[in-house]
Chains A and B, each alone.
Chain A
Amino acid sequence: EPEVTQTPSHQVTQMGQEVILRCVPISNHLYFYWYRQILGQKVEFLVSFYNNEISEKSEIFDDQFSVERPDGSNFTLKIRSTKLEDSAMYFCASSSRQANQPQHFGDGTRLSIL
């Protein structure tokens, strides 16, 4: 069964450094999402992406965050200047051609900011 893949599985970064989290969505999916989950807490919506642009974003997704689909397969989340509170699990998800379809999640990237 097709899967959403995320790399790396764990990223350790110094505070203030830039970090890029990578995702390869399911190949025929058109809608892409990033979520984060602080340890022990709920899953929080960050951003949705469709047709090469952001379709919606949350209050969390400030100017420090950006997303990109640099080629036909990758979908990246960049955090420009990381803060301690950015430490969390970041999940990428994708859904198929219609907007109201289930989202398939990747295994996540655990981001640890020191």
Chain B
Amino acid sequence: GQQVMQIPQYQHVQEGEDFTTYCNSSTTLSNIQWYKQRPGGHPVFLIQLVKSGEVKKQKRLTFQFGEAKKNSSLHITATQTTDVGTYFCAGRMTGGFKTIFGAGTRLFVKA
């Protein structure tokens, strides 16, 4: 079946270090969305990428969508303690409404 793999599962960083999480889909995606979930909270939408090779930035966050629209990454520059949480990618399958979430990467930031 359709799968979206996300790595790593956990990442511990020192405040100020960079962080990257990667997603890879078994099938070509219509778009990919990124969400952040704080412990005990709900997924909060960060960004959506639609075009092949698209790169978007939000302050210290850089999002990329691969040329084949099957992989994506989120990079945080100079992490802060407020960045802690789980980052999920979510791939929208082509031609449908189904959104497949990756397993998430939980980010821990040590001050």
Contact = CB atoms under 8 A, between A and B. Distances in A.
Contacts of A102: 33, 45, 48
Interface in A47-61: 48, 50, 55-56, 58-59
Contacts, number: 56
Contacts of A35: 101
A45 B44 CA distance: 16
Interface residues of B, number: 24
Nearest to A107: B42
Contact of A42 (B41, B44, B104): B104
A108 to B, nearest CB: 5
Contacts of A42: 88, 101-104
Interface of A: 31, 33, 35, 41-45, 48, 50, 55-56, 58-59, 91, 99-108
